[in-house]
């Protein structure tokens, strides 16, 4: 919905110039979504006045409710404002291209030169421990924005426990969303939350159903279609930030035996230091699991929702998301995601601990990395934490 008093408009710009402008944004997109959004705001809102500040803030509010990397979705929408849907496509491609290219190169180097290199084992373990600290801080930060009352806290705790007990994620998300939609009737909300999850546990006990949280199909071959679906699942379910894509991509890749937890954490570490939305870690996962085409398949699935929501549905979604019932439903889903990613953090921690020879040193490194992530802010913090983890891992391995 456009404010009739809003006279700001993007200036005339060619498609090539539009692509190059957002390519530049992508090349400078260090520091995660907060830094990326601030960069775009400074250039296109404050300096070039493509969009009024009030409408920009309303746009951000809608994108933060929807799944997908909000900085990328923002670029798609602004490109569409300038030159229609082809402009949105070019803006989105320009913003993601530098990170995609660098991650493809990183995947090639990792598979060909780094993975399995005995001399780098300590360095990689140090980085992986630091990544766990970054994820732990992200869980808390996401939770602080989403968990606003006791029911949401209860949904998150139930989701954590249910994930660890191998309940399929879609049941957990549906139960969490419906429970919070019924928040005005607490007894109904509790029943809606618990009955589907308990029912799933009973079915699993008697039928032995496989789950999305554990092994799905042991060592099934990684096809391009399956990698695309793994990315699409992550792209559709990233409520609350890019870290929330981690459980779903991990379930469909690590859970199928296509990639190890250690390599998965290495991909998250690389994504933390590249100029790109953090979900670009999926490109690395796809490369390790299925080579260059696998990387492109996962990336296409991951970013497809981000393109689609802005290019096809935004004008309607701005009104739809304002619906209180739907907003509560999405908030309940987001709370369940907090529990799911917390459970995934626990699973990754256990997998990493199983490879450690000295748990005391690992615990100290984790505590130090967590303290830095907790107390210090800035675009450089995550790369600094990961570099510190690598340095400590290297010293220990000497």
Q: Quote the DSSP letter at residue 12.
A: P
CA–CA separation, 98 vs 25, rounded Å? 9
Long-range contacts of 254-259, Cβ-Cβ distance < 8 Å, separation of 24 or more: 255/212, 255/213, 255/214, 255/215, 255/216, 256/215, 256/216, 256/217, 256/218, 256/219, 256/220, 256/222, 256/226, 257/215, 257/218, 257/219, 257/220, 258/222, 258/288, 258/289, 258/290, 259/285, 259/288, 259/289
Rounded to whole angstroms, the Cα distance separating 306 from 63 reads 9
Residues whose CB falls within 8 Å of the CB of residue 153, separated by 6 or more in sequence, listed in order:
147, 335
What is the rounded average pLDDT of the residues 112-140? 76
pLDDT at 175 exceeding the cut of 50 = yes
The Cα 376–Cα 73 span in angstroms is: 27
Nearest to 200 by CA among 244, 230, 170, 179: 170
Q: What is the pLDDT of residues 220-239, one digit of tens each?
A: 678 999 999 999 988 888 76
- Give residue 379's pLDDT: 57
> What mean pLDDT, rounded, does the chain reach?
82
Residue 211 pLDDT exceeds 50: no
If you write DSSP's letter for every residue of 56-87 in order, what string do you get? HHHHHHHHHHSSS-HHHHHHHHHHHHHHHHHH
Q: Of 8-12, 13-17, 98-102, 337-341, which gets the smallest average pLDDT?
A: 8-12
Is there a contact between 306 and 69 (Cβ–Cβ < 8 Å)?
Answer: yes
Which range is least confidently modeled, 133-137, 140-144, 355-359, 381-385? 381-385
Q: How far is CA 218 from the centre of its chain?
A: 25
pLDDT bucket at 118, cuts 50 / 70 / 90:
low
The whole-number pLDDT of residue 25 equals 93
* Strand, coil or helix: 7: coil
- Counting residues of the chain whose pLDDT is more than 70, the rounded percentage is 83
- How large a percentage of the chain has pLDDT more than 90? 27
| pLDDT (mean) for 227-255 | 84
CB–CB of 226/194 below 8 Å?
A: no
Read off the pLDDT band of 208 (50, 70, 90).
Answer: low
| Contact of 385 with 369, CB cutoff 8 Å | yes
Quick check: 278 and 69 in contact, CB under 8 A? yes
Residues 6 or more apart whose Cβ sits within 8 Å of residue 199: none
| Closest C-alpha to 169, from 106, 278, 102, 246 | 246
215, pLDDT greater than 60 = no
Whole-number pLDDT of residue 286: 95
Looking at residue 314, what is its pLDDT? 65
């Amino acid at each position: 919905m456009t404010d009739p008093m809003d006279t700001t408009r993007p200036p005339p710009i060619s498609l090539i110039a539009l692509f190059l402008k957002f390519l530049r944004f992508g090349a400078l997109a260090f520091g995660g979504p907060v830094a990326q959004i601030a960069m775009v705001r400074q250039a296109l809102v404050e300096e070039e006045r493509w969009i009024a500040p009030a409408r920009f803030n309303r746009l951000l509010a809608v994108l933060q409710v929807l799944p997908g990397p909000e900085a990328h979705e923002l670029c798609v929408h602004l490109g569409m404002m300038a030159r229609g849907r082809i402009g949105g496509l070019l803006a989105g491609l320009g913003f993601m291209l530098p990170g995609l290219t660098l991650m493809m190169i990183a995947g090639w180097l990792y598979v060909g030169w780094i993975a399995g290199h005995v001399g780098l084992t300590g360095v990689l373990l140090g980085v992986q421990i630091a990544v766990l600290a970054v994820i732990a801080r992200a869980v808390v930060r996401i939770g602080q924005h989403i968990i606003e009352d006791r029911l949401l806290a209860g949904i998150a705790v139930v989701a954590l426990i249910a994930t660890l007990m191998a309940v399929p994620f879609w049941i957990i998300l549906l139960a969490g969303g419906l429970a919070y939609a019924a928040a005005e009737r607490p007894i109904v909300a509790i029943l809606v939350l618990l009955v589907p999850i308990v029912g799933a546990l009973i079915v699993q006990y008697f039928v032995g159903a496989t789950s999305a949280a554990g092994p799905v199909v042991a060592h099934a071959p990684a096809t391009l279609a399956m990698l695309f679906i793994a990315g699409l699942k992550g792209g559709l379910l990233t409520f609350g930030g890019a870290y929330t894509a981690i459980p779903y991509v991990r379930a469909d890749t690590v859970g199928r035996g296509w990639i190890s937890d250690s390599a998965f954490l290495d991909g998250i570490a690389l994504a933390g230091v590249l100029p790109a939305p953090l979900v670009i870690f999926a490109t690395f996962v796809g490369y390790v699991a299925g080579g260059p085409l696998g990387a492109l398949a996962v990336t296409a699935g991951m970013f497809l929702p981000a393109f689609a929501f802005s290019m096809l549905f935004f004008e309607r979604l701005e009104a739809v998301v304002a619906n209180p019932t739907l907003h509560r439903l999405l908030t309940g889903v987001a709370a369940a995601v907090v529990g799911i990613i917390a459970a995934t953090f626990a699973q990754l921690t256990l997998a990493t601990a199983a490879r450690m020879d000295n748990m005391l040193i690992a615990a100290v490194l984790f505590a130090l990395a967590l303290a830095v992530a907790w107390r210090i802010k800035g675009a450089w913090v995550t790369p600094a934490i990961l570099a510190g983890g690598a340095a400590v891992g290297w010293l220990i391995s000497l």
